[in-house]
Structure 1
Amino acid sequence: MRMDLPPAETLLRGCPTPLALVSSSGEALVTNAAWEARVGGGALDTRVHEEDRSALAAARARALGGEATQGIDVRLARGGHERARLSFWRADAQTLWASAEAYRDEEEERKARILNDCFRVMEANIWSCDTEGKILVSDGKGLALLGLVPGQMVGMNIFDAYPPGSAAHAVVKRTLDGESFFYEDVSEKAHWLNVYTPRLDASGVVEGLQSISVNFGANLQLSKKSKVLADCVDRLPICIWAFDESGSCTLLAGALGARLGVSAELVGKDLFEVYGDRPDFVADMKRALAGEEHIVERDLGDVHIRTRFVPIHDPFGEIIGACAATEDATEQHLFQVKLTEQLALIESQKQAIAELGTPIIEVWQDVLVVPVVGALDAARAEQMLEVLLEAVVHRQARFVILDLTGVEAVDASTAEHLVRVAAAVRLLGCEGIITGIRPSVAETIVGLGVDLSQTRTLRSLKDALRFCTGDSARRRAR
């Protein structure tokens, strides 16, 4: 029994696949809702990119000429990047059946499968939001580290989770403004490396953002230490920086940078060009690139800085750059300057005290008197000898009287020093005379066996002066 088939419109209406009955010229005669949503109504040529229309007409012609289905991938005119696979097969001599399927790029599908397999294993998250911050996608195994499950955040607003002032809030705002970048964050349970990119519509306008975060926290303790170190560097009055063999800045961190007028914007720039007017600074960098580890200090405005340069080697020992640590040494420098000044003052005071401790008095023409008071140790004896010999030469003295009236006691060392002083002045043609030796001192000298036979000794300074003036008178009488 022959059954009557339902009309084409009835067949198409309930099919979920985009279907249409088109004429040989490409006019859509009957379409279903799925076709209207996918391709649109009217002439098929107007729905396809103009560069694909000739190939589309050729596919229709081949389908009308035989029974084989003809397929072609085309770009749809309504979306600059939207593609579809159109298939045609003959309905009768004047019409064709047509279907529209989502475009399948096998290479892209292969990449998607690889990424999906990796994504199921690795601790990672993907998420997306619109320009208002509404979360559209939130998925990934890594959500468990945040105490979340896939889809839990969908529908929520990212700006409620990260209020103004937080680092994540600023990152999202910058991405929605069209900036793409990497962002690193260390939490209690993970070390995240985040990639943020804006999501663009067909005309290139930002319609949201998309992000993937991967946990690199296999050694979370090391990551935490690195974060603590980075936080310290950002707060301490130091600047850690590095550059490669061409002079390009690869790192800049530390609170001191802002005080010196430099910022992270210096990263990536040629330091040889930036500081071309500072030949001393460029020379320091070149010394480090030549393999020399060294420390330099200099004034930079009102700041005295100290910088240590260290070459960086690759695994084969070749120099690939250098790193440097600059610290604010202003206080230490000022302290060192004051310390140097204080030491100089102490030295001058010491010299003055020494001179006062060894007074040399010219009591008569050619006669010098040195009253010795207190202990005569090695240091004082050397200082006395130096000053006395200079005075003998300068004043052309013939007699030097060492008066020991103020010396209560002597030891072997003191006695030896007295003999040395007397012998030294004798070599300059000057006679040394020792006076004022007390009985206790005389007893000690004899007991020690000190030889004073080459040195004239008199009872008192008065006797010594009488001897010296008498000798001068005898010389004049001759």
Structure 2
Amino acid sequence: MLFVAGLDGGLRQTSDALQRALGAAAVRGATLVSLVDDAADARSFEVAWARLQESGDPMQVAVTFRDAHGGRRALVCSAARSPSHDAVYGSLRGVVTCNQEPSKRSSLKARVLDHVVEHISIVVWTTDRDGILLFNEGKALRKCNIEPNQFAGMSMFELYKGLPTIDNMRRSLAGELTHSHEEVHGLHWESWVVPFRGDTGEIEGVLGISLDVTEAKNTEAELRSRLHQIDKQQEVIRTLSTPIIEVWSGVLTLPMVGIVDSVRTADVMESLLGRIVEKQARFAILDLTGVEMVDTKVASHLIELVTAIRLLGAEGIVAGIKPNVAHTMVALGLDLSQITTQQNLRAALGHCIRKMSAEKQLSPTRAAAPAGGAPSG
């Protein structure tokens, strides 16, 4: 993008590329400084142009121009006096890398940091090697009712004594990058503390970035509470879906409804065996009248449950088996010879009552028998 200008900066000729870049404003007679978009850049341009006028030394300055679309475009302006000294020949070129303009890059970094601490809920802070707070800013300070740099000049070791931050500072002063979670000022923070090095590479202090994660922590706690509540509700549902009822003295019944899966069977086994011991029950009836389907694992578990009941000195009775459930058990080749089955709960309860009555009738007879075993004539 080439141009020829008068000593006053007014444009005399411009290349097509410059016209396309800067648009209709770059007309003959317009001054270059009038095309500069930033006031500070305009002053820098005027100073460089005045030096070119007075000394004749070539100039090079980076400034921001308004482009043909009304936007901002960073360009480097290079110019030198013509051999006749009555005109200026120059060019505009794009800024290829940030390394070409360190001052611009530093300014951009400062602006980025300002936007970060202003709009993101963090606190950025630095200390010297003695832990004296040098800088402390960030949007999250407002939630703590703390003004920016309110504690500047004070010792972090005293302000936050006993908190993980202090241990992290000591580790960072020794050259280690640290990361931690802690609760301070009633808020939850996720913090990073890194060594702050000078131009020589020596550690001059620490740099800390503390992110306010209170909202995320509260959401996590609420989620955990809900999950705990759901677990309790599921436990209640499981208890209600497998109620253990004492229908007669020494007789427990467990009516099961719906589809019985392996998890539910395991819960049933634990609950029923515990109640048998607690009630010193003589019989336990598994009522499968309402069970429509069982899988192969469940059928095997039911056999194991009856066996476990027998080991506790009680008798397990299976009542109300549906045809498809019976088919599953037979297809598995399970040994059902040791299991007492009844057509329904009523039949099972009648079986228990008859056995208990027979045992009561037998007990006095045995008690009245003489030691020799034969009745007297």
Aligned equivalent of 1:166: none
1: distance between equivalents of 2:345 and 2:288?
9
**Residue 289 in structure 1 maps to residue 289 in structure 2:** no
Aligned equivalent of 2:5: none
Instruction: Calculate the TM-score normalised by the size of structure 1.
Output: 0.51
1: distance between equivalents of 2:283 and 2:296?
25
1:337-382 deviations in Å (ceiling 9; x for gaps): 3222212211111111000111111101111111121111111111
Note if contact 1:360-1:388 (Cα within 8 Å) is conserved in structure 2.
Answer: yes
Aligned equivalent of 1:298: 183
Higher RCO (Cα < 8 Å, 6 or more apart): 2
Aligned equivalent of 2:371: none
Deviation at 1:295, TM superposition (A): 1.6
Q: Aligned runs of 1:47-446 on 2, under 5 Å?
A: 146-149=44-47, 217-218=101-102, 220-221=104-105, 223-260=107-144, 261-264=146-149, 266-273=151-158, 275=159, 278-281=160-163, 284-291=165-172, 293-300=178-185, 303-312=186-195, 320-446=204-330
1:8-37 deviations in Å (ceiling 9; x for gaps): xxxxxxxxxxxxxxxxxxxxxxxxxxxxxx
2: distance between equivalents of 1:189 and 1:413?
77
Deviation at 1:279, TM superposition (A): 2.8
2: distance between equivalents of 1:318 and 1:143?
36
Q: Give unmatched runs, 5+ long, in structure 2.
A: 1-39, 51-72, 77-98, 364-377
Note if contact 1:298-1:305 (Cα within 8 Å) is conserved in structure 2.
Answer: yes
Deviation at 1:388, TM superposition (A): 1.1
The residue type paired with residue 250 of structure 2 is D
> Partner of 1:325: helix, strand, or coil?
strand
Deviation at 1:323, TM superposition (A): 2.6
1:266-295 deviations in Å (ceiling 9; x for gaps): 34433234x1xx5334x5213431357232
Note if contact 1:143-1:150 (Cα within 8 Å) is conserved in structure 2.
Answer: no
Deviation at 1:306, TM superposition (A): 0.5
Aligned equivalent of 2:356: 472
Note if contact 2:196-2:207 (Cα within 8 Å) is conserved in structure 1.
Answer: no
Note if contact 1:289-1:321 (Cα within 8 Å) is conserved in structure 2.
Answer: no
* Structure ID, larger Rg: 1
- CA 1:235–1:411 in structure 2 vs 1: closer, same or farther (change >3 Å)? closer
The residue type paired with residue 305 of structure 1 is H
2: distance between equivalents of 1:381 and 1:473?
32
RMSD of aligned C-alpha atoms?
3.3
The residue type paired with residue 338 of structure 1 is E
Aligned equivalent of 2:333: 449
- CA 1:476–1:348 in structure 2 vs 1: closer, same or farther (change >3 Å)? same
> Partner of 1:408: helix, strand, or coil?
strand
Aligned equivalent of 1:67: none
- CA 1:305–1:443 in structure 2 vs 1: closer, same or farther (change >3 Å)? closer
Note if contact 1:361-1:370 (Cα within 8 Å) is conserved in structure 2.
Answer: yes
Identity of aligned residues (%): 34
- CA 1:355–1:220 in structure 2 vs 1: closer, same or farther (change >3 Å)? same
Note if contact 1:397-1:430 (Cα within 8 Å) is conserved in structure 2.
Answer: yes
2: distance between equivalents of 1:435 and 1:363?
14
Aligned equivalent of 1:127: none
Deviation at 1:151, TM superposition (A): 9.6
Instruction: Calculate the TM-score normalised by the size of structure 2.
Output: 0.63
1:314-351 deviations in Å (ceiling 9; x for gaps): 59998653332223333223323322221221111111
Deviation at 1:463, TM superposition (A): 2.0
Aligned equivalent of 1:98: none
The residue type paired with residue 310 of structure 1 is V
Deviation at 1:418, TM superposition (A): 1.0
Note if contact 2:136-2:152 (Cα within 8 Å) is conserved in structure 1.
Answer: yes
- CA 1:429–1:442 in structure 2 vs 1: closer, same or farther (change >3 Å)? same
Paired residue total: 274
> Partner of 1:375: helix, strand, or coil?
strand
- CA 1:285–1:368 in structure 2 vs 1: closer, same or farther (change >3 Å)? same
Note if contact 2:197-2:205 (Cα within 8 Å) is conserved in structure 1.
Answer: no
> Partner of 1:147: helix, strand, or coil?
helix
1:415-466 deviations in Å (ceiling 9; x for gaps): 1121122122222222111111123332332122122223221222222111
Deviation at 1:188, TM superposition (A): 5.6
The residue type paired with residue 46 of structure 2 is L
1: distance between equivalents of 2:340 and 2:283?
11
Deviates more, 1:428-437 or 1:248-257: 248-257
> Partner of 2:47: helix, strand, or coil?
coil
Q: Give unmatched runs, 5+ long, in structure 1.
A: 1-141, 153-186, 191-214
1: distance between equivalents of 2:167 and 2:357?
79
- CA 1:409–1:378 in structure 2 vs 1: closer, same or farther (change >3 Å)? closer
